């Protein structure tokens, strides 16, 4: 019943934070059960009990050889497949009854037990709390070797609880964590339990615990690409925790190591190459990054990947390649409003094109961020196209205090010294140095500008547009 496992995998992959309630109140449990019953009734009312041709054929085969367990198994699977397609309660119930009858014929048969298990697993995930006992019952009938091929019962319970709590936007982390810990005990070879538990910790900013959990999972599943990816991404999240991962390059370094471990296990996964390339760029390893980008494009030559390539080659100073890849992105369907266009053109010094593509970008946005506002001014200045009226129609959104302050400073509402006092990390420093340098350059104070641009470069924020621009402007004024 691989597709049930996959269903669950889909359900939980890429999920944001989930939380848990180990001790749902009685009222809550009652409500959940009531909701499930109502949902079941609605499904029953909607769906008919007619038998499809496939069902009729399978029944005929079963009736002709009712002593042959395989005909029963086949019938059960046909019903199950019908339920998966149509959501008919009738088919669900018939599948279950058929497999249960089969199990009486062949007690202990692993395939049958797994089939019944997967039905109850699915029921549990979709809200039938009573199915939990059934999942445990059938799970326990299997030996360890067979249990290890299934997702554990508590993982299904976790999935259900998470979605219930998400609906109410009220997460009980402790419950969800405890449920996942039980899932790990039931079946430690399921990497999903470790990954979801780590995500819970990550979302609460307990990065070391998340990483330790993933590594603990990797002891059981050393060849789990998902675990290795998640270890790497958790390192990256940890690096970015205080807002500037360049201040924690050591974590980026560790992330790279795990991407490198994951790639041989799944060399055709494009995302691994993308993330590894990015981490190489962050660590000022452009040649390695270029190699990974090439691999990325061989595996998945999508618009976004071409845009990524264009951006990074622009950062490397390879204008022609950047331009070529941007064209490829366009051909592959990259929207004209994508930010990649104006950023690549900016980094490459093609101000007119940058300004024009920036216009497309702005028009597609509901709101702008502070960097968009600053870019607008720079582009207006460099391209001689006045973009101010365009930008003035849009509201600027600030995601943190720094953005508010730097915009205020950019607009002359704050002094340099005052802003300098509130700088907390390299990233903010790099931004301040660059924008100060640019202002100085416009004011004709080239000495100040050079100093500021050098300091920008020294911050080693390798993928920042500001750093590339600082290099460009420095070259122009030297």
Closest to another protein by CB, 140 vs 364, is 140
Closest to another protein by CB, 20 vs 338, is 20
Residues binding another protein (CB under 8 A): 104, 137, 140-141, 143-144, 174, 177-178, 181-182, 184-185, 188, 201, 204, 206, 208-209, 211-213, 216
CB of 69 to another protein, least distance (A): 18
**Separation of alpha carbons 320 and 342, rounded Å:** 15
Residue 332 DSSP SS3: coil
Q: Are β-strands 395-397 and 367-369 bridged in parallel, bridged antiparallel, or unpaired?
A: parallel
Closest to another protein by CB, 22 vs 266, is 22
Q: Torsion over CA of 68, 69, 74 and 77, rounded to 10 degrees?
A: 160
**Separation of alpha carbons 103 and 197, rounded Å:** 35
Residue 108 DSSP SS3: coil
- Cβ atoms of 166 and 200 within 8 Å: the answer is no
How many other CB atoms are found less than 10 A from the CB of residue 48?
A: 9
**Separation of alpha carbons 474 and 478, rounded Å:** 6
Nearest to 322 by CA among 352, 354, 344: 344
CB of 208 to another protein, least distance (A): 3
Burial of 42 (0-12, 13-18, 19+ CB in 10 A): exposed
CB of 184 to another protein, least distance (A): 7
Closest to another protein by CB, 209 vs 446, is 209
Q: Taking the mean position of all CA atoms in its chain, how far away is CA 6?
A: 17
CB of 212 to another protein, least distance (A): 5
CB of 128 to another protein, least distance (A): 19
Closest to another protein by CB, 181 vs 303, is 181
Closest to another protein by CB, 201 vs 308, is 201
CB of 153 to another protein, least distance (A): 14
**Separation of alpha carbons 431 and 97, rounded Å:** 66
CB of 210 to another protein, least distance (A): 9
Closest to another protein by CB, 105 vs 299, is 105
**Separation of alpha carbons 411 and 374, rounded Å:** 9
CB of 181 to another protein, least distance (A): 6
Alpha-carbon separation of residue 124 from 156, 160, 180, 320 (angstroms): 6, 7, 15, 56
Residue 368 DSSP SS3: strand
Closest to another protein by CB, 177 vs 436, is 177
């Amino acid at each position: 019943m691989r597709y049930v496992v996959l269903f669950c995998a889909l359900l939980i992959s890429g999920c944001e934070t989930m939380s848990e309630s180990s001790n749902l109140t009685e009222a809550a449990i009652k409500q959940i059960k009531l909701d499930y019953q109502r949902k079941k009734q609605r499904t029953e009312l909607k769906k008919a009990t007619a038998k499809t041709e496939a069902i009729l054929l399978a029944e005929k085969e079963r009736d002709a050889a009712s002593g042959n367990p395989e005909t029963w198994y086949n019938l059960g699977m046909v019903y199950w497949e019908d339920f998966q397609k149509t959501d008919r309660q009738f088919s669900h119930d018939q599948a279950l009854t058929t497999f249960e009858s089969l199990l009486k014929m062949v007690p202990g048969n692993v395939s049958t037990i797994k089939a019944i298990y997967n039905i109850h697993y699915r029921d549990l995930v979709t809200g039938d709390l009573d199915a939990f006992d059934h999942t445990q019952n059938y799970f326990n009938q299997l030996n360890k070797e067979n249990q290890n091929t299934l997702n554990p019962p508590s993982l299904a319970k976790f999935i259900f609880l998470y979605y219930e709590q998400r609906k109410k936007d009220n997460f009980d982390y402790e419950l969800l964590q405890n449920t996942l810990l039980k899932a790990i005990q039931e079946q430690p070879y399921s990497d999903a339990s470790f990954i979801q538990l780590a995500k819970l910790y990550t979302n609460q900013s307990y990065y070391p615990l998340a990483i330790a959990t993933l590594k603990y999972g990797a002891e059981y599943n050393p060849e789990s690409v998902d675990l290795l990816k998640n270890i790497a991404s958790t390192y990256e999240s940890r690096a970015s925790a205080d807002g500037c991962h360049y201040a924690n390059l050591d974590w980026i370094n560790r992330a790279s190591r795990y991407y490198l471990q994951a790639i041989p296990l799944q060399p055709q996964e494009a995302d691994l190459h993308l993330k590894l390339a990015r981490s190489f760029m962050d660590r000022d390893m452009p040649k390695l990054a270029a190699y990974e980008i090439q691999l990325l494009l061989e595996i998945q030559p999508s618009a976004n990947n071409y845009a990524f390539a264009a951006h990074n080659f622009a950062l490397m100073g390879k204008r022609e390649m950047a331009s070529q890849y941007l064209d490829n992105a366009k051909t592959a369907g990259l929207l004209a409003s994508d930010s990649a266009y104006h950023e690549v053109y900016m980094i490459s010094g093609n101000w007119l094109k940058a300004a024009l593509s920036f216009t497309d970008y702005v028009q597609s946005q509901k709101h702008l961020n502070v960097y968009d506002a600053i870019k607008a001014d720079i582009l207006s200045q460099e391209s001689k196209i006045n973009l101010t009226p365009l930008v003035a129609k849009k509201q600027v959104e600030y995601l943190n205090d720094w953005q508010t302050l730097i915009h205020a400073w950019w607009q002359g509402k704050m002094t340099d010294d005052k802003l300098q006092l509130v700088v907390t990390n390299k990233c903010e420093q790099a931004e301040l140095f660059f924008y100060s340098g640019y202002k100085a350059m416009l004011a004709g104070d080239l000495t100040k500008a050079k100093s500021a641009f050098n300091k920008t470069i020294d911050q080693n924020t390798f993928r920042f547009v500001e750093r590339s621009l600082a290099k460009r402007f420095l070259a122009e004024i030297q």
